[in-house]
């Protein structure tokens, strides 16, 4: 949303790319991101809220009726000040949601092709994240007829940690509502192993000193991208990684098994933020990606090399 202050939102690369994809026949989903982790939420009725809604009115004409799904919010319980993850968070997002609903009714009509969801909830596997504000969030989702459901982001330390997300949201939605999973991964499992030593056979084969840490190999690949075979050999030499080889398949099976899944999406490519200042304290999002854009040399035709997950990702498209 802050990018709406930098010019016509329809010309912003994210919205332009989304609309071009829709024009080529792809289904599209847009999340409206409101980063308030450095400032307080504007109060309903304030001049600051009026400015936020005016910003929204610059964005909505570019996407309403074009995107198939619009998620109101991205990660509200992260993109907020910790002290304000209470009723103030709810009041802000409910005000925004009602404004979006009103705009859709007025400008897109009853047959509008854009469905609305509220998103997204994080770390519901932790009891302290199931707060009164999260409860009110789900109450608003359930009691607002124009909202189709809720988005979740199950970035988890174990595959089993996803189940509490579903156990929390499903009983709190009305019959017929569905959920999105626009992000999911084992990033917290990967992070626990960044300071593990790499396998001795891999170190010996590729000239790494004995005791070289996992994070150091990843940083080496960022600094000087590996051939595809070397990167795959690194990943498959890590038992903590290969033991989760069915994660993507199993998670999609779990979501679909509820009968309530609308859309699940998965991280497609590494990006610059994932690789910048890589260290053992860095969240290793780059291990999730379907394409290894930054840790593997491009293929001969200049396209990105596939990461470990490409086969599993493609298999889900055929299911």
pLDDT tens string, the chain, 319 residues long: the values are: 999 999 999 999 999 999 999 999 999 999 999 999 999 999 999 999 999 999 999 999 999 999 999 999 999 999 999 999 999 999 999 999 999 999 999 999 988 999 999 999 999 999 999 999 999 999 999 999 999 999 999 999 999 999 999 999 999 999 999 999 999 999 999 999 999 999 999 999 999 999 999 999 999 999 999 999 999 999 999 999 999 999 999 999 999 999 999 999 999 999 999 999 999 999 999 999 999 999 999 999 999 999 999 999 999 988 7
Give the CB-side neighbour count of residue 2, counting CA atoms within 13 A.
Answer: 7
CATH architecture designation of domain 2-184: Alpha-Beta Barrel (3.20)
> Which of these, 123, 137, 117, 118, lies nearest to 165 by C-alpha position?
123
pTM for the model stands at 0.96
Tokens of 27: 């289904």
For residues 134 and 168, what is the distance between their CA atoms, to the nearest angstrom? 10
pLDDT for position 110: 85
- Nearest C-alpha neighbor of 89 from the set 80, 98, 97: 80
Distances (CA, A) of 306 to 16, 40, 251, 296: 26, 41, 20, 9
In terms of Cβ atoms closer than 10 Å to its own Cβ (0-12, 13-18, 19+), residue 288 is: buried
Domain ranges of the chain: 2-184, 188-244+267-319
The pLDDT of residue 318 = 85
Distance CA 302, CA 56 (A): 38
pLDDT digits (tens, 9 = 90+) for 59-91: 999 999 999 999 999 999 999 999 999 999 999
* Selection from 58, 56, 75, 66 nearest residue 16 by Cα: 66
Is the CB of residue 308 less than 8 Å from the CB of residue 243?
Answer: no
The per-residue pLDDT for 255 is 98
Q: Residue 34 and residue 292: Cα distance in Å, rounded?
A: 29
DSSP-derived 3-state class of residue 52: helix
Residue 160 main-chain phi, psi, to 5 deg: -70, -15
């Amino acid at each position: 949303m802050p990018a709406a202050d930098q010019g016509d939102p329809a010309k912003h690369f994210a919205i332009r790319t989304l609309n071009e994809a829709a024009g080529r026949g792809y289904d599209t989903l847009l999340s409206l991101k409101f980063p308030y982790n450095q400032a307080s939420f504007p109060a309903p009725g304030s001049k600051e809220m009026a400015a936020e809604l005016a910003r929204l009115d610059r964005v909505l004409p570019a996407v309403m009726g074009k995107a198939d799904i619009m998620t109101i919010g991205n990660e509200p319980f992260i993109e907020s000040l910790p002290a304000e993850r209470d009723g103030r968070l709810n009041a802000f997002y409910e005000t925004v949601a009602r404004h979006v609903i009103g705009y859709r009714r007025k400008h897109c009509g009853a047959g509008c092709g854009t469905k609305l969801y509220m998103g997204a909830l994080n770390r519901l596997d932790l009891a302290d994240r199931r707060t009164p504000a999260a409860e009110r969030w789900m109450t608003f989702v359930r009691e607002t007829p124009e909202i189709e459901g809720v988005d979740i982001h199950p970035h988890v330390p174990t595959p089993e940690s996803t189940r509490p997300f579903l156990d929390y949201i499903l009983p709190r939605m009305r019959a017929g509502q569905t959920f999105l999973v626009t992000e999911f991964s084992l990033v917290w499992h990967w992070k626990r192993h960044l300071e593990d030593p790499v396998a001795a056979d891999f170190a010996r084969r590729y000239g790494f000193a004995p005791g070289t840490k996992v994070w150091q190999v990843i940083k080496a690949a960022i600094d000087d991208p590996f051939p595809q075979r070397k990167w795959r050999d690194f990943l498959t030499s890590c038992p903590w990684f290969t033991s989760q080889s069915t994660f993507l398949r199993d998670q999609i099976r779990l979501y679909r098994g509820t009968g309530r899944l609308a859309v699940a999406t998965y991280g497609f490519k590494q990006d610059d933020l994932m690789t910048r200042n890589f260290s053992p304290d860095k969240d290793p999002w780059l291990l999730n990606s379907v394409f290894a854009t930054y840790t593997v040399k491009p293929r001969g035709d200049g396209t990105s090399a596939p990461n470990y997950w490409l086969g599993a990702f493609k298999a889900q498209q055929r299911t």
